[in-house]
Amino acid sequence: MTSATPPAGGRLTVLTGPSGVGKGTLVKLLLERHPEIWLSVSATTRTPRQGEEEGRSYFFLSRQAFEQRAAEGGLLEWAEFAGNLYGTPRQPVEEHLAGGRPVLLEIELEGARQVRRSFPAGFQVFLEPPSFEELERRIRGRGTDSEEAISRRLERARVELDAAPEFDARLVNGDLETALAELERLMGLNG
């Protein structure tokens, strides 16, 4: 797996990896076992969907407010997708960290690179599949994407996997329990 030293409590951990590697499943289990972890909430300019709550699902901002926050350094990272802006507000992350609470940020590669520049104290973990063939099997196994979408995901995954050496630690998600235990160790949550 990796020999990186675990960070102290109250530290920002950034988790990234290609689509289909199991980030969401791993994060869900981690939060069930460690409710003290605060999973960072993103800001967005898109309209709230039914059932979404301000501050829990997203922080919903106008485009002007979002752009102003970005210009003032109030976002750790941000990007535009499908005409809407998404980003990680700095203030709530810093507030939770100041309170000694571990903060987890689950984001894509470009966002992780931005966080590395805007918050260098963050500990960055890259989640990878046991093999590219297994990643393809997982993506196809979802049964939700067209062949064209699968091809795009796999092409993007190759680019993302090439970036793994940039990270503080690399974690292989072959066996979920083993990966969870290793992520707990990397975050300093054991003992």
Helix, strand and coil in the chain, % to nearest 5: 40, 20, 40
Determine the pLDDT at residue 142.
82
What does the longest C-alpha to C-alpha distance in the chain come to? 46
Amino acid occupying residue 153: R
**Cβ–Cβ under 8 Å, residues 181 and 16:** no
First to last CA, the chain: 20
Domain range 1-37+102-191, CATH architecture:
3-Layer(aba) Sandwich (3.40)
The CATH number that domain 41-99 falls under is 3.30.63.10
Tell me the pLDDT tens digit for each residue of 149-158.
899 989 999 9
Determine the pLDDT at residue 9.
52
Determine the pLDDT at residue 144.
81
Task: Please list the pLDDT of the chain residue by residue as tens digits (191 residues).
Answer: 444 544 445 799 999 999 889 999 999 999 999 999 999 999 999 999 999 999 888 999 999 999 999 999 999 999 998 899 999 999 999 999 999 999 999 999 999 999 999 999 999 999 999 999 999 999 898 888 889 989 998 999 999 999 999 999 999 999 999 999 999 999 988 75
Q: Where are the domains of the chain?
A: 1-37+102-191, 41-99
- In this chain, the answer to whether the domains covering 1-37+102-191 and 41-99 adopt an identical fold is no
Percent above pLDDT 90 for the chain: 79
Q: Take residue 14 and report the two structure tokens written for it.
A: 């950034």
Q: Take residue 28 and report the two structure tokens written for it.
A: 């869900």
Tell me the pLDDT tens digit for each residue of 85-117.
999 999 999 999 999 999 999 999 999 999 999
**Cβ–Cβ under 8 Å, residues 132 and 174:** no
Cβ atoms within 10 Å of 42's Cβ, excluding its own? 19
Determine the pLDDT at residue 72.
95
